[in-house]
Structure 1
Amino acid sequence: MDFTPLSQFIDRITAWRIPWAEVLVIHRNEIVFQYRAGYADLEAKTPIEENTMIYLYSLTKILTCTAALQLVEKGAILLGDPISDYLPAYAEMKVKKKQSDDGNTTSEPTERPITIRDLFTMTAGFSYDLASPSIQEAVERTNGKLPTREFATALAKEPLQFEPGTRWNYSLCHDVLAALVEVVDGRRFSTYVREEITEPLGMLDTSFFLSEAQYSRLVPVYVYDDELRKAVLMDGDWYRLGTEFESGGAGLLSTVSDYSLFLNMLTNRGTSPDGVRILSAASVDLMRTDHLTAHTRSDYNWPHQSGYGYGLGVRTHISQAGSGSLSPLGEFGWSGAAGSYAIIDPESQLTVMYAQHLVNNPEPYVHPRLKNIVYSVLNL
């Protein structure tokens, strides 16, 4: 296998506008290619190094959904359960209605409850407004801590954007799912993740909170300034709403090598190469089943997701004609706000973990091309 086209692609995008990029390719449980280029710190011209700590952002969502699916396997929850059975604050939700004659938005009680399936599939009716009044009030009330369950309770005070189950909208669903795991299991979400997923898989560098040694390996995040025509440092982590908030949607930090252990477990349909079972094969197949309906499919309309459906927290490939992708049907995964990207392919026994740290990332350009290059090189 000649991975020259892939290394040339990484070199090209890091010479273009992305400060640094790293890709790791696992085929049949063996690392067949790993490459990185660019600068972790553009100002200091510091090269990107092995085991750099990064913000996963929304790549967190795959792990959160895995944690919740473990509870489904244990019979602790069902996808059809109303979330109010576990989170009482959601018992009497309201949904926004059309503006009245005086221009004000009205709200009315929902026609049906939010279910656990709605949390998995982004059909609960939430937005992604991190600055909503109820959340900001909860941050102040908890003195900047905002524990995960407090976040979920606060979000329940906001009216929904639409009736549960009727539309798809990328939102805070998986942050609420993390709170649900806490309530059902009894352990703090980060403790559950560590004891049930990361430690069993030997993942020593994946966490919601970093040690001093890990923090020293965390590289800055950049945003591309079109006027200056260069990437500039971004100030802070806008998803860290509180010191105790463990965002199931965007809170994990990790390394390319460490998170690939988790992704490769899913490629092996729930069991690591060492025989550590995290999920059943049936659960992984349920995760990558297309859960979009006639009501929700038109909302899942991002151009670079053409040919893909949406499963339990992941994109899932359903039409090669629609996608133009060289990957087979059933390939699945997700991405993160700074440009990280996961390819999970049980049929081809392929796992790809790609990372960068540019928040206004050119995802529609980079990810489909990266994917096609990998499949072309491997000739799967």
Structure 2
Amino acid sequence: MDFTPVASLIDRLTSWRVPWAEVLVMHHNEIVFQYRNGFENVEEKTPIRDNAIFNLYSMTKIMTCVAALQLVEKGDILLLDPLSQYLPEFAEMQVKKTLPNGEVYYEKAARPITVRDLFTMTAGFSYDINAPSIQEAVERTNGTLPTREFARALAKEPLMFEPGTHWNYSMCHDVLGALIEVVSGKRFGTYLQDEIIKPLGMNDTTFDLNEKQQTRLIPQYLFDEQQDKAVRMDGNGFRIGTELDSGGAGLLSTVTDYAKFLNALTGYGTSPEGVRILSRASVELMRTDHLNDMTRPDFSWDHMYGYGYGLGVRTHISKAGSGSLSPIGEFGWAGAAGCMAIIDPDSGLTVMYAQHLLNSQEHYVHRRLRNAVYSCL
């Protein structure tokens, strides 16, 4: 396998808008290629180092959904259970409706939010972290906003649509984190450490960095079109409380560390060392397309053509639609600063790609990277 095309693409990206980029490719549990280029600190021209820590943002969602599927496997929850069975505040939800003349009114939801709706982004939530009830809860908790309090606050906001009738990228997986807390009896971050992170031998994946890890947290950038350069913009705007273990966007990690988790999914839920975090049946359910005639039109991002949406992941359903060199059933997700996962059990392939640039150029980068990797196999 000659990965020269992948290295060339990384070089091209880092000479363009992306300050640094790194890719790790595993094939049948062996690292067959790892390459990085660019500057972790643009101002000081510091080359990107090994084991740099960065924000995963929405790639957190994959681990959150795996954690919740563990509870499904134990019989603690069912996908079709009403969410209010575990989080009572979601029992009486209001749906925001708009008349043709623009008048807004509210109506009681016709059906309950289910656990499955959280996985599949069909609950009716938005991604408005500035919603009044959430901001009130931030102030009331003195900026801590624990995960469980976040869910209580979100439940006070009206739904955008009847549960199950549309797909909308939202804070569903943050609520899934609260559900895991209630059902497991552990803080969400602790559950992840106990059931996934530590068993897989991952030492640098966490919601809260220790002092030593903090020294490896690297700068984050935003590409400024007017200045035609990347400008420093640190912090995670989605983690709006110091005690909010955000199941949607809160984890930090390294390329090598998170690749261990992704590769366990490539192994149908079991790591090369024999650590099982999910059953094969759960991995297959996760990568099954859960969109239907009502929700499919909403999943219309151009870089997702040819993909369906499973339990928290994109899943490849049409090579003709995607133009992708990856096989049907390849799955994964990405993050706001540009990281991306490719999980392909049928090919025995795991790809962990990382960068740390908000307005990440995802639509340009990810499809090209995927095709470059598969062309090398």
Shift, 1:340, TM fit = 0.2
Q: TM-score, with normalisation over the residues of structure 1?
A: 0.98
* Residue number in structure 1 paired with 2:190: 191
* Residue number in structure 1 paired with 2:253: 254
Letter in 2 for 1:139: V
* Residue number in structure 1 paired with 2:230: 231
Letter in 1 for 2:80: G
Q: Deviations over 1:97-134 (max 9, x none)?
A: 11485x54211100000000000000000000010000
For residues 38-77 of structure 1, the aligned pairs below 5 Å read 38-77=38-77
* Residue number in structure 2 paired with 1:5: 5
307-316 vs 92-101, which deviates more?
92-101
Letter in 1 for 2:106: S
- Mapped to 2, the partners of 1:173 and 1:135 lie a distance apart of 14
* Residue number in structure 1 paired with 2:20: 20
Query: Are 1:143 and 2:142 matched, yes or no?
Result: yes
* Residue number in structure 1 paired with 2:126: 127
2:191 is paired with a residue whose SS is helix
Letter in 2 for 1:201: L
Letter in 1 for 2:296: R
- Mapped to 2, the partners of 1:83 and 1:40 lie a distance apart of 42
> Paired residues, what number?
377
* Residue number in structure 2 paired with 1:177: 176
Shift, 1:85, TM fit = 0.3
* Residue number in structure 2 paired with 1:108: 107
Shift, 1:192, TM fit = 0.3
Shift, 1:240, TM fit = 1.7
1:283 is paired with a residue whose SS is helix
Letter in 1 for 2:67: A
1:332–1:345 CA contact under 8 A, matched in 2: yes
Query: Are 1:203 and 2:233 matched, yes or no?
Result: no
Letter in 2 for 1:83: L
Q: Deviations over 1:233-289 (max 9, x none)?
A: 114321120110000000000000000000000000000000000000000000000
* Residue number in structure 2 paired with 1:281: 280
Q: Gaps spanning 5+ residues in structure 2: where?
A: none
Shift, 1:231, TM fit = 0.3
* Residue number in structure 2 paired with 1:334: 333
Runs of 4 or more, structure 1, over 3 Å off, are none
Letter in 1 for 2:76: A
1:37 is paired with a residue whose SS is strand
* Residue number in structure 2 paired with 1:343: 342
- Mapped to 1, the partners of 2:239 and 2:118 lie a distance apart of 21
- Mapped to 2, the partners of 1:2 and 1:124 lie a distance apart of 44
Shift, 1:2, TM fit = 1.2
Letter in 2 for 1:249: G
Q: Deviations over 1:114-157 (max 9, x none)?
A: 00000000000000001000000000000110000000000000
1:258 is paired with a residue whose SS is helix
- Mapped to 2, the partners of 1:77 and 1:198 lie a distance apart of 22
Provide the identity percentage. 69
2:376 is paired with a residue whose SS is helix
Query: Are 1:357 and 2:340 matched, yes or no?
Result: no
Letter in 2 for 1:134: S
- Mapped to 1, the partners of 2:300 and 2:236 lie a distance apart of 28
- Mapped to 2, the partners of 1:178 and 1:350 lie a distance apart of 28
Query: Are 1:156 and 2:182 matched, yes or no?
Result: no
Letter in 1 for 2:17: R
- Mapped to 1, the partners of 2:239 and 2:75 lie a distance apart of 32
Q: TM-score, with normalisation over the residues of structure 2?
A: 0.99
- Mapped to 2, the partners of 1:107 and 1:235 lie a distance apart of 38
- Mapped to 1, the partners of 2:371 and 2:55 lie a distance apart of 25
Query: Are 1:217 and 2:216 matched, yes or no?
Result: yes
Q: Deviations over 1:157-206 (max 9, x none)?
A: 00000000000000000000000000001000011000000000000000
- Mapped to 1, the partners of 2:189 and 2:362 lie a distance apart of 29
1:100–1:106 CA contact under 8 A, matched in 2: no
- Mapped to 1, the partners of 2:27 and 2:234 lie a distance apart of 37
- Mapped to 2, the partners of 1:100 and 1:111 lie a distance apart of 21
- Mapped to 2, the partners of 1:75 and 1:100 lie a distance apart of 45
1:16 is paired with a residue whose SS is coil
RMSD: 0.8
* Residue number in structure 2 paired with 1:292: 291
1:143 is paired with a residue whose SS is coil
Letter in 2 for 1:357: H
- Mapped to 2, the partners of 1:145 and 1:2 lie a distance apart of 49
